Amino acid sequence: MELGLVHYLILVAILFCIGILGLIISRNIVKILISIEILLNAVNINFAAFANFGDLDEAKGQVFAIFIMAIAAAEIALGLAILIACYNNRHSIDIEDYTSLKS
Protein backbone atom coordinates (compact mmCIF):
# COMPACT_ATOMS: atom_id res chain seq x y z
CA MET A 1 0.00 0.00 0.00
CA GLU A 2 1.37 3.33 -0.94
CA LEU A 3 1.28 6.27 1.41
CA GLY A 4 -0.96 9.01 0.08
CA LEU A 5 -1.90 12.47 1.23
CA VAL A 6 -4.93 11.10 3.00
CA HIS A 7 -2.88 9.00 5.34
CA TYR A 8 -0.87 11.98 6.37
CA LEU A 9 -4.01 13.94 6.97
CA ILE A 10 -5.44 11.17 9.13
CA LEU A 11 -2.25 11.13 11.17
CA VAL A 12 -2.41 14.89 11.49
CA ALA A 13 -6.05 14.75 12.62
CA ILE A 14 -5.25 12.12 15.22
CA LEU A 15 -2.28 14.08 16.52
CA PHE A 16 -4.31 17.29 16.59
CA CYS A 17 -7.09 15.67 18.56
CA ILE A 18 -4.61 14.23 21.03
CA GLY A 19 -3.10 17.69 21.40
CA ILE A 20 -6.45 19.36 21.94
CA LEU A 21 -7.51 16.70 24.39
CA GLY A 22 -4.28 17.06 26.33
CA LEU A 23 -4.67 20.81 26.31
CA ILE A 24 -8.17 20.60 27.70
CA ILE A 25 -8.02 17.87 30.27
CA SER A 26 -4.54 17.98 31.73
CA ARG A 27 -4.07 19.93 34.92
CA ASN A 28 -0.34 19.91 34.90
CA ILE A 29 1.03 22.95 33.10
CA VAL A 30 4.02 21.04 31.79
CA LYS A 31 1.63 18.59 30.19
CA ILE A 32 -0.23 21.50 28.65
CA LEU A 33 2.97 22.83 27.16
CA ILE A 34 3.72 19.37 25.77
CA SER A 35 0.22 19.27 24.26
CA ILE A 36 0.87 22.58 22.58
CA GLU A 37 4.03 21.09 21.07
CA ILE A 38 1.99 18.18 19.77
CA LEU A 39 -0.49 20.60 18.23
CA LEU A 40 2.26 22.55 16.55
CA ASN A 41 3.88 19.40 15.25
CA ALA A 42 0.56 18.22 13.85
CA VAL A 43 0.37 21.45 11.95
CA ASN A 44 3.97 21.00 10.83
CA ILE A 45 3.22 17.60 9.41
CA ASN A 46 0.23 19.08 7.66
CA PHE A 47 2.37 21.73 6.03
CA ALA A 48 5.03 19.27 5.01
CA ALA A 49 2.53 16.83 3.59
CA PHE A 50 0.77 19.40 1.51
CA ALA A 51 4.05 20.81 0.33
CA ASN A 52 5.23 17.40 -0.65
CA PHE A 53 2.13 16.49 -2.59
CA GLY A 54 1.11 19.81 -4.07
CA ASP A 55 3.99 22.23 -4.28
CA LEU A 56 7.17 20.41 -5.24
CA ASP A 57 8.75 23.30 -7.10
CA GLU A 58 8.90 25.93 -4.45
CA ALA A 59 8.60 23.95 -1.16
CA LYS A 60 7.00 26.83 0.71
CA GLY A 61 5.37 24.39 3.14
CA GLN A 62 8.69 22.98 4.29
CA VAL A 63 10.06 26.45 4.86
CA PHE A 64 7.00 27.29 6.91
CA ALA A 65 7.46 24.13 8.98
CA ILE A 66 11.00 25.15 9.78
CA PHE A 67 9.79 28.59 10.85
CA ILE A 68 7.18 27.01 13.08
CA MET A 69 9.80 24.77 14.69
CA ALA A 70 11.91 27.82 15.52
CA ILE A 71 8.96 29.67 16.93
CA ALA A 72 7.87 26.58 18.89
CA ALA A 73 11.31 26.35 20.42
CA ALA A 74 11.19 29.99 21.40
CA GLU A 75 7.67 29.62 22.69
CA ILE A 76 8.44 26.60 24.83
CA ALA A 77 11.46 28.34 26.28
CA LEU A 78 9.35 31.35 27.14
CA GLY A 79 6.53 29.19 28.46
CA LEU A 80 8.82 27.23 30.71
CA ALA A 81 10.45 30.41 31.96
CA ILE A 82 7.04 31.84 32.87
CA LEU A 83 6.10 28.55 34.45
CA ILE A 84 9.19 28.61 36.65
CA ALA A 85 8.49 32.16 37.66
CA CYS A 86 4.91 31.20 38.53
CA TYR A 87 6.09 28.18 40.45
CA ASN A 88 8.46 30.30 42.47
CA ASN A 89 5.58 32.49 43.44
CA ARG A 90 2.85 29.94 44.14
CA HIS A 91 4.56 26.59 44.49
CA SER A 92 2.12 24.95 42.19
CA ILE A 93 2.03 23.82 38.61
CA ASP A 94 -1.66 22.94 38.70
CA ILE A 95 -3.59 25.02 36.13
CA GLU A 96 -6.60 25.19 38.45
CA ASP A 97 -4.61 27.32 40.84
CA TYR A 98 -4.10 29.99 38.21
CA THR A 99 -7.51 31.60 37.84
CA SER A 100 -6.51 35.24 38.11
CA LEU A 101 -8.09 35.89 34.67
CA LYS A 102 -11.35 35.90 36.56
CA SER A 103 -10.26 39.41 37.66
Q: Which of 1, 3, 24, 56 binds another protein (CB under 8 A)?
A: 24
Q: Which of 53, 67, 87, 98 binds another protein (CB under 8 A)?
A: 98
Instruction: Tell me how far, at minimum, the Cβ of 99 lies from another protein, in Å.
Output: 3
Helix/strand/coil (H/E/C) assignment for every residue in the chain: CCCCHHHHHHHHHHHHHHHHHHHHHCCEHHHHHHHHHHHHHHHHHHHHHHHHHHCCCCCHHHHHHHHHHHHHHHHHHHHHHHHHHHHHHHCCCEHHHCCHHHC
Can residue 93 be called a binding residue for another protein (CB under 8 A)?
no
Instruction: Tell me how far, at minimum, the Cβ of 56 lies from another protein, in Å.
Output: 30
